[in-house]
């Protein structure tokens, strides 16, 4: 009676060992479990000598603009500044104003309460910088309408 179940038990053990080893090697464990069930010891030998399969990491291509950015601008570029970053700015009397969201900063820009020469800061920046020195921020702010109704370019 045991002679009938012994090959089945051994096959299940090889199947389980193949499943575990395949998981450690980054391979499809269920495929290798079936192969271990069918081919037993030979499946384990092949799997043992296969190299680990690594998942491909997704790298974003750097644009030409990103290559010349400062570290603070790279942080700004990669973070969802629209939602999570709060900004501080210096008003005309050099008083610290904030914290304001990026959307509020845009509103202040359109209302001409902040200018390209205004100093701004957020928690991931080391020092205060002028808007005109932060290329990403300057390009993210909309163009403004002048008093005559003409559109002025970002300065």
Cα(69)–Cα(117) distance, rounded to whole angstroms? 19
Judge if 131 and 69 occupy the same domain. yes
Q: What is the reported pTM?
A: 0.45
Judge if 76 and 126 occupy the same domain. yes
Judge if 136 and 91 occupy the same domain. yes
Q: Per-residue pLDDT tens for 38-82? A: 998 999 899 999 888 765 554 455 555 555 556 655 555 554 355
Q: Per-residue pLDDT tens for 112-139? A: 888 888 898 888 788 888 888 887 777 7
State which residues form the domain around 85. Answer: 64-143
| Domain count across the chain | 2
pLDDT band of 13, cuts 50, 70, 90: very high
Radius of gyration of the chain from its Cα atoms, rounded to whole angstroms: 30
Kindly state whether residue 21 falls inside one of the protein's structural domains. Answer: yes
Kindly state whether residue 7 falls inside one of the protein's structural domains. Answer: yes
């Amino acid at each position: 009676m045991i002679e009938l179940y012994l090959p089945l038990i051994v096959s299940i053990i090889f199947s389980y060992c193949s499943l575990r080893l395949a998981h450690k090697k980054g391979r499809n464990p269920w495929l290798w479990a079936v192969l271990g069930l069918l081919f037993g010891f030979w499946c384990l030998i092949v799997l043992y000598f296969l190299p680990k399969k690594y998942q491909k990491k997704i790298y974003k291509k750097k644009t030409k603009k990103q290559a010349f950015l400062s570290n603070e601008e790279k942080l700004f570029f990669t973070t969802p500044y629209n939602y999570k970053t709060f900004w501080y700015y210096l008003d005309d009397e050099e008083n610290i104003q904030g914290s304001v969201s990026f959307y509020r900063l845009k509103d202040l820009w359109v209302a001409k309460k902040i200018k390209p020469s205004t100093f701004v800061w957020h928690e991931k920046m080391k020092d205060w910088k002028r808007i005109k020195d932060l290329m990403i921020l300057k390009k993210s702010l909309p163009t403004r309408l002048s008093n005559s109704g003409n559109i002025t370019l970002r300065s």
